[in-house]
Structure 1
């Protein structure tokens, strides 16, 4: 029986045109013998805009649901995810060659690791890339380290939630992604780090597309009142989880 990695992608109409690039990046992945990926795509909404961009591949499943933003779409995709591990891939981003294999090795080769992240390069409209100059060293990310750094560095984490690779059972135990209009992936990352150890891979694992239509470039994403509320509830949840007796998760 083939072991599966479930790659979950939330998508809405304006972003669907980027799905072929994401799919090509999946086709470029090489996994160890006995492993394969499945691509679980969930539309945030119920339109006809996404289907024309779906590949004809038996490893791809597609679902639709009421509009609720990316976190809701990803959580609605979880019942179709059959893999032991879940990988996040935003519809407008691309994995680098070898990313899935490196993520898998981080968890299978290191006991006690529940999740993994990797280096990111921003992909600019002109095709050039820009990296983050404060990546941590490759290796284990200790419990609480991301949360503490994030809360003391203007709510900017040293690892990127868009690269998250996580044990499916741990993801389910934490309830999936937070019910927020944005920063739902940051909320999940902080919750994971509050209760478990992770891993950072220094080799680039994701090309993070920067373009005018992306949700994080919209004015609403940085609306002062909403942004403050999002950060507050993300931190409060993570701190509460860290303080709960018996909530340390070891793989």
Structure 2
């Protein structure tokens, strides 16, 4: 399976923690991970933090032309191999067993195209905080994420940063949306429109909260841009639903 990570200079020092969380994963016999780290842009600041491991591949984007994490992840897909793709942001950490649980869910049921898990915010003081309103563990039927997201004021019931997905399905949908933010939510809604999903109640990801993260910047909350992001993400999901295209494994 391929683990895809978008990184920019401010988040590069956290790559070691992400790597350690990958190394702690135990997978069934015959399975292993390949970590694709894609820099958003091209600087000299990221490479020194990339672990020296044959299972790790590091690539860079255009000099002086960052496109955002969705662009970086989608570029990384050109080099993805294997059946599955797992998202791991540079500043986040997997919990022990996360990859094995995701893998078991999709291997057991070909009708499941993607999986997510419970996520905890990892605060600067070392404490963690959970998200309210997690769904029941198990299958998530098509359309359920869009309905819950809309009802909750554009807050998804599952966290897209914990996504594990069939590679062919991810490619068929074109990867992540070309948005300056919410690109992962847009992908999640598209996946929900065409395929059943899965939610694991065990914590699978520690989502680091820190001063420099992109989602904490003022631009992320700009009302006009946010409204546009939500509108196009919803429109894409509804168009896929109305076309009645369904993923078949």
TM class by smaller structure:
over 0.9
Shift, 1:250, TM fit = 2.8
Structure 1, unpaired ranges of 5+: none
The 1-side partners of 2:130 and 2:108 are apart by 27
TM-score, normalised by the number of residues in structure 2? 0.98
Residues matched between the structures, number? 246
Structure 1 counterpart of 2:53: 57
2:19 to 15, 23, 27: 23
Q: Secondary structure at the match of 1:36?
A: coil
Deviations 1:31-78 (A, max 9, x none): 000000010000001101001001110000011112100000000000
The 2-side partners of 1:127 and 1:83 are apart by 35
Aligned-residue RMSD, C-alpha:
0.6
The 2-side partners of 1:71 and 1:111 are apart by 27
Structure 2 counterpart of 1:217: 216
Q: Secondary structure at the match of 1:65?
A: coil
Structure 1 counterpart of 2:91: 92
The 1-side partners of 2:174 and 2:79 are apart by 15
The 1-side partners of 2:241 and 2:248 are apart by 14
The 1-side partners of 2:235 and 2:110 are apart by 29
Shift, 1:111, TM fit = 2.8
Contact 1:138 1:201 in 2 (8 A): yes
Structure 2 counterpart of 1:241: 240
Contact 1:113 1:250 in 2 (8 A): no
Shift, 1:132, TM fit = 1.1
Matches within 5 A, 1:170-249: 170-245=169-244, 247-249=245-247
Shift, 1:96, TM fit = 0.1
The 1-side partners of 2:169 and 2:3 are apart by 16
Structure 2 counterpart of 1:34: 30
Structure 1 counterpart of 2:6: 10
Structure 2, unpaired ranges of 5+: none
The list of structure 1 runs, each at least 4 consecutive aligned residues, that deviate by more than 6 angstroms after superposition, is none
Matches within 5 A, 1:45-84: 45-66=41-62, 67-84=66-83
Structure 2 counterpart of 1:250: 248
Q: Secondary structure at the match of 1:18?
A: helix
TM-score, normalised by the number of residues in structure 1? 0.97
Shift, 1:151, TM fit = 1.1
Deviations 1:11-30 (A, max 9, x none): 00010000000000000000
The 2-side partners of 1:249 and 1:121 are apart by 30
